[in-house]
């Protein structure tokens, strides 16, 4: 009986020692359909989302609760000319820092750092 218990404990210890730790890399919640003009991206704040126009890179902060919702512009300037717009051109990627996202132009490779410091202070910087 004692041998079986020691063997069982050894097996359990071995299994748990080889178990992989859950990654703390951000998880991307997106649909695989690239034909839509708009995509909604969750943030770590459960009541805040980022609405992205995938054609031109414009973004809005969507805050909601059980009583109302607010939509505030984050970046209301198009990042490409009207002639260069294409569905699915821009994609938003979370980073390990919950206050930063990377906006990526999938056609020409340009990237922007999308960050906020406070509730209504958002900044979009081109990464060169």
In order along its 128 residues, the chain shows pLDDT tens digits of 778 767 766 676 666 665 555 555 555 555 556 678 999 988 887 788 889 999 999 998 888 877 888 888 888 889 999 999 999 999 999 888 888 899 999 999 999 988 865 555 666 666 75
What pTM was estimated for this model as a whole? 0.70
- DSSP string covering 6-62, please? HHHHHHHHHHHHHPPPPP-SPPP---S----SEEEEE-SSTTEEEEEETTT--EEEE
Domain layout of the chain by residue ranges: 36-127
- Contact partners, residue 30, CB within 8 Å, separation at least 6: 39, 41, 91
Phi-psi region of 99 (alpha: psi -120 to 50; beta: other; left: phi over 0): alpha
**DSSP one-letter code for 99:** T
Q: Which two tokens stand for residue 18?
A: 């080889």
């Amino acid at each position: 009986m004692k041998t079986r218990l020691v063997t069982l404990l050894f097996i359990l210890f071995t299994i748990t020692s080889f178990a992989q730790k859950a990654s703390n890399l951000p998880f991307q919640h997106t649909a695989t359909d690239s034909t839509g003009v708009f995509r909604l991206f969750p943030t770590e704040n459960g009541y805040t989302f980022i609405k992205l126009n995938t054609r031109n890179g414009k973004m809005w902060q969507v805050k909601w609760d059980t009583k109302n919702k607010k939509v505030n512009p984050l970046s209301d300037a198009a990042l490409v000319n009207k002639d260069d717009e294409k569905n699915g051109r821009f994609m938003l990627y979370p980073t390990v820092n919950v206050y930063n996202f990377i906006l990526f132009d999938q056609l020409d490779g340009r990237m922007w750092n999308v960050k906020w410091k406070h509730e209504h202070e958002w900044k979009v910087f081109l990464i060169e």
